[in-house]
Amino acid sequence: MVMGGVRVFDVMPSSLAPKNRNRLLLQVHAGCYVLGGGEAAAVETILMAGFGNYHVIAIDYRMPPTAYFPAALDDVVAVWKEALKTRNSSQMAIFGTSAGAALTLATMLRVRDQGIPLPGAIGLGAPMADLTGVGDSFATNSMIDNVLVSREGFCEPAARLYANGHDVADPLLSPIYGKLAELPPAILTSGTRDLLLSSTVRLHRKLRQSGVDAQLQIFEAMSHAQYLRDDTMPETREVFEEIASFFDGHLSK
């Protein structure tokens, strides 16, 4: 399926809750801007559809080596504009994890500044909100996070590959440095062993300071986005049920 010239995957739960019949979620996949494309883009979408009982569309945005910054951002914005042709913005939410969360937030900055309607809520899982290396957990959780492992490992160099020489302090790459006022209500998720715990906590605090309704959930002993890796883990169900509940409280029917 294609929306706004971008390939997407449309996922519907086997039994859609009546209250969600007119609602739609857009999901932006993880993968440090270079992994998770194709059918893998729908992993988090399937979890949200199953545990959250929502109709969800996964955005298979362009990645290196065929496309670099701001191609992924352009694709998410294009899909959002297309979705606005079928539903009211207040009936929709956008969410994602890691690079997907950063792209979700960067999308909010761009569409707000362009005067395009914003969704009713956003979900930011372990967001790669700061590529400049600021944050206590880059040191304290180095070699403790068994997913990202360390800042010098795979993910941040991959993100810099996507940046393609662009200043990584640009808010469209490190959205924590952007103006966050007037953004939609947000729910943020991380774990005590997540290398990006500080990025998540700092972003939550800045959202609150900017007047945004923001909720933070931190899970004990969870490394970076482990809720994407095991659908039988109790925390996985809880993560998505919490996000689904947050969306339910903010989206119109």
pLDDT along the chain (253 residues), means of 10: 98 93 98 97 97 97 98 98 98 98 98 98 98 95 96 90 97 98 98 98 98 98 96 96 98 96
pLDDT at 154: 87
Q: How far is CA 119 from CA 17, 94, 156, 224, 252, in A?
A: 20, 7, 28, 26, 10
- Three-class SS state of 165: coil
pTM above 0.85, yes or no: yes
Query: Which domains are assigned to the chain?
Result: 2-250 (3.40.50.1820)
Whole-angstrom Cα distance, residue 188 to residue 105?
Answer: 11
